[in-house]
Amino acid sequence: MSGLVLASCSPRRSELLHRLGLSFRTDAPDVDEECSLPAPEAVSLLSRRKASACAVRNPGCTILAADTLVALEDKILGKPADADDAVRMLHLLSGRSHQVYTGVTVISPDGQILTGYDRTDVTFDTISDEEILSYVRSGDPLDKAGAYGLQGRAGMWITHISGSESSVIGLPLYLVRSLLTRSGFPLVREIDLNQTIKG
């Protein structure tokens, strides 16, 4: 077996990776995501943990894994435990700036492991209680770090982004490109083979 495997079941990460014109399949391993390290180290460790578990199940493949955390004044905000927790997180983020960290790991077929992370600063406008409750009732924030998704309704609260927008969604594409290239993955050839020529 060969090719590129995305160690994630996230439709958002799959959509972002499709933007690069790559063919891949998904295989999301079940790993322990508990980690007490600071956010940059945590996302790096967790992405490596996911990639390593996926590599065992997919020998001979290039593995790509990612992990995203939101941090506010060094306090990590992961995925909310429930609706009340989502409300709490959004109240914390309202009217303030926070950081989104995404770690990315690539494992090549010969076992080389490359890891990096991205930091993006995001600023929220002040959000009313009614807006927060309506958003949480939609169910959208319950599976997202920091209880929001940039690509959804929460995008209307963001006043400023400094860094990679795709990283906030869950996969910093510039970092993916860099790590795949360093791993020896034939990025350009893969894209060229999958292009549709219109004429």
Residue of 26, 22, 34, 20 lying closest to 6 (CA atoms): 26
| Cα distance between residue 1 and residue 47, in whole Å | 22
Q: Is 190 helix (H, G, I), strand (E, B) or coil?
A: helix
Per the residue annotation, which of 30, 67, 118, 192 is the catalytic one?
A: 67
| Cα distance between residue 119 and residue 145, in whole Å | 14
Is 110 in the active site? Answer: no
Strand segments, DSSP code E, in the chain are 4-6, 25-26, 62-72, 75-77, 97-107, 113-124, 158-162
For tokens 């219109």, the residue is 198
- Name the residues annotated as catalytic: 67
